[in-house]
Structure 1
Amino acid sequence: MPQLSPYQYTGPVDCTIPPNYEVLKGKSVIITGGANGMGEETARAFAAEGAYVTIADLNEARGKQVAEELGPNAQFLKCNITSWDEQVTMFEAAIKNSPHKSCDIVIANAGISRASGDDLWPLDDPNAPPVKPELNIVNVNLIGTMYTWKLAVHYFRKQPDTEDRDRSFIITGSMVSWIDSPANWQYTSSKYGLRGLMRTARRNSHEQGIRINYVAPCYIKSAIRSATYEAQLMSKGVEFAPQKDVATCMMKLATDRTINGHSLMIAPRSVAKEGYMDVGMDDHVKEGYFKRTQEIQLDIIEDKWEVGWSKGRTPEGAIKS
């Protein structure tokens, strides 16, 4: 498996260094939610550089069309990421049909927003019985992506163990993981949760040769918004970034094996000339309580992500007497 060093903060990612597109040739890439928007743009970008792309999505008509347009470098597999069984089937088929029977890069991009309906937000009649909310956004964005992570780890470990293979997991998050976004209750909670997954997993991911990173778009140009609404947003100071910058950021993370445990944000060119930059808010570098507590936590939590390690430990990680 790829040999990686334990996570250690050494400063922000140098985003002025462009992706090494050459290493994408022959790589197998799974992109959930790859039939539209940022996922589609990313699928097209990877396929154009010689990677074999599996587009996993519920939108069968659009997914098949995109895969057909990309020719022999792509396939479409219908998949609801909230279904464990459907994701297993998708991973199996993705690997079976890939040129090297491999799973090198997994981009957990599928997700839904407040537009899908956030049942935590409405105020119900206080004189009527309480209404149980549907947590569809959490189920898709957080639970579905956790399924994707669990399966990616499984199949990363089964692939050919050669130096040219990779084990890269990328999460499509959101800038709401750092900023307040009123009324986006489930969406914000789910994206915070995914950022927490990345920050936790990065501490052990090297033990299985896996890199995990987080991409945080904010306002991205998209056909899903009406021109009227887009104009309203711009009148309030919103600067949009193009979808192609998301794809380039994904390729930067997928091709640079020195990057693990970072959050890159998609920013307008007025902020970042490359279209993306390191958020720089995932590590405690200043002396004080947070830095000291983080160091203590890393010292007391000794868990290794290795087969059989837990046999001599209690469920909480203590050494069995």
Structure 2
Amino acid sequence: MAIITGGAGGIGSATVRRFVEEGARVGIADVDEARGRALADALGDAALFLRCDHGNPDDCRAAVAAVVTRWGQLDILFNNAGIGWTGTFDEVADGQVAELMRANLVGPLLMTRAALPALRERGQALRARNVSPVVLFTASGLGLHARPAVSLYTVTKHGVVGLMRSLALDEGPNNVRVNAICPGIVETSLMYRTMARWGDAQTILERSRQEAPLRRIADTSDVANAAVFLASDEAKAIHGACLVVDGGVHG
């Protein structure tokens, strides 16, 4: 039983579908009711739409309660929701600072805090089987490195990596695993909107492909597959780690 924030978006919806393919039951947490409900309807009893702004602690608690009420437990939280931004510090308005911090860092923190009681309970129940419930974060290659003209976004994603590593230390004794996925550029509608601020998105995308040693960039299925692996028992000894999914750019 899982909650995926940003579950109606590109990476989120791909991951929801992959989790359901693997037999999971998924709460699709998103503010986009039209897309979220359509996805939940398409997946039938395996999915539940949760109207959730992860920057609102009441929404976070309600989402967790809905999943536990529906399916009896919570095994996986995937903090995937977030927004992109390009620009130097001088180019980012005051309101955008608050918006980015809320969407990319405060939201995952609040959602995790709401989910931890249920996850800790599952951790104790699963301890004898030597497996764990899981918290995952979508961070970024820019949570590990830096590039020009994406300063505030880089700050938020470094914060996500720091949050993940701190939680891994705190929650390991509770038998809750915590990891992050660090994608590079992923071809989604969010990516196109973000890249358009730099120039022609297709030109930037092609340049990014050429920069990658594999000469390709990740798509949503690559990130979804990484999430399925990290959430699975096959990854039961992986904890406090960043899995980079970027075609080798930051290898």
Place the TM-score, normalised by the shorter chain, in its bin: 0.7 to 0.9
Q: 1:147 aligns to what? A: 110
Tell me how far 1:257 sits from its aligned partner. 1.1
Q: Structure 2 counterpart of 1:266, which letter?
A: V
Pair 264,159 (structure 1): closer, same or farther in 2 beyond 3 Å: closer
> Aligned partners of 1:247, 1:56: CA distance in 2, in Å?
16
> What is the RMSD computed on CA atoms of the aligned residues?
2.6
What are the superposed Cα offsets for residues 123-144 of structure 1, whole Å, 9 maximum, x if unpaired? 89xxxxxx67641101111111
Q: Is the 8 A contact 1:119 1:133 kept in 2?
A: no
Segments of structure 2 that go 5 or more residues without pairing to the other structure are none
Aligned to 2:35: 62
**1:214 aligned counterpart, secondary structure:** strand
Structure in which a larger fraction of residues adopt helix: 2
User: Which has the larger Rg?
Assistant: 1
Are 2:49 and 1:51 aligned?
A: no
In structure 1, C-alpha distance between the alignment counterparts of 2:173 and 2:242, rounded to whole Å: 20
Structure 1 segments, 4+ long, off by >6 Å, are none
Residues 95-134 of structure 1 deviation map (CA, whole Å, 9 limit, x = unaligned): 1112xx000000000101116xx7944289xxxxxx6764
Q: Distance in 2 between matches of 1:92 and 1:171?
A: 20
- SS of the residue corresponding to residue 164 of structure 2 reads helix
1:283-319 CA-to-partner distances (Å, cap 9, x unmatched) read xxxxxxxxxxxxxxxxxxxxxxxxxxxxxxxxxxxxx
Q: Distance in 2 between matches of 1:53 and 1:30?
A: 6
Specify whether residues 95 and 123 from structure 1 end up closer, same or farther in structure 2 by C-alpha distance, changes over 3 A only.
closer
1:76 maps onto 2:49 in alignment: yes
1:1-321 → structure 2 map (5 Å cutoff): 28-98=1-71, 101-114=72-85, 120-122=89-91, 134-159=97-122, 161-163=124-126, 166-224=132-190, 225=192, 229-235=201-207, 237-238=210-211, 239-255=216-232, 256-268=235-247, 271=248
Q: Residue type of the partner of 2:220?
A: Q
- Structure-2 separation of matches of 1:254 and 1:79: 22
Q: Give CA-to-partner distance per residue, 1:197-222, whole Å, 9 cap, x none.
A: 12222223221111000100001122
Distance 1:235 1:29, change over 3 A: same
**In structure 2, C-alpha distance between the alignment counterparts of 1:85 and 1:119, rounded to whole Å:** 33
* Distance change (3 Å), C-alpha of 1:119 and 1:58: farther
Distance 1:180 1:159 in 2: 37
Change (3 A) 1:64 1:260: same
**Cα distance change on mapping 1:230 and 1:205 into 2, 3 Å:** same
Q: Does the aligned pair in 1 maintain the 2:88–2:150 contact within 8 Å?
A: no
Preserved contact between residue 142 and residue 191 of structure 1 (Cα < 8 Å): yes
| Percent identity (aligned) | 29
Secondary structure (helix, strand or coil) at the match of 1:212 reads strand
* Pair 1:71–1:182, CA change in 2 (3 A): same
Assess, with a 3 A threshold, how the Cα gap between structure 1 residues 160 and 135 changes in structure 2: closer, same or farther: closer
CA distance in structure 1 between the partners assigned to 2:242 and 2:236 by the alignment: 15
Query: What residue ranges of structure 1 are gaps of 5+ in the alignment?
Result: 1-27, 125-130, 273-278, 281-321
Distance, in Å, in 2 between the alignment partners of 1:123 and 1:233 is 23
CA 1:191/1:93 → structure 2, altered by over 3 Å: closer, same or farther? same
Contact kept in structure 2, 1:138 and 1:190, CA below 8 Å: yes
Query: Whole-Å Cα distance in 1 between the matches of residues 181 and 225 of structure 2?
Result: 11
Aligned partners of 2:107 and 2:69: how far apart in 1? 22
Task: From the superposition, tell whether residues 104 and 233 of structure 1 become closer, same or farther in structure 2 (CA, over 3 Å).
Answer: same
The whole-number CA distance in structure 2 between the counterparts of 1:210 and 1:123 is 37
TM-score, length basis structure 2: 0.85
Q: How many residues align?
A: 235
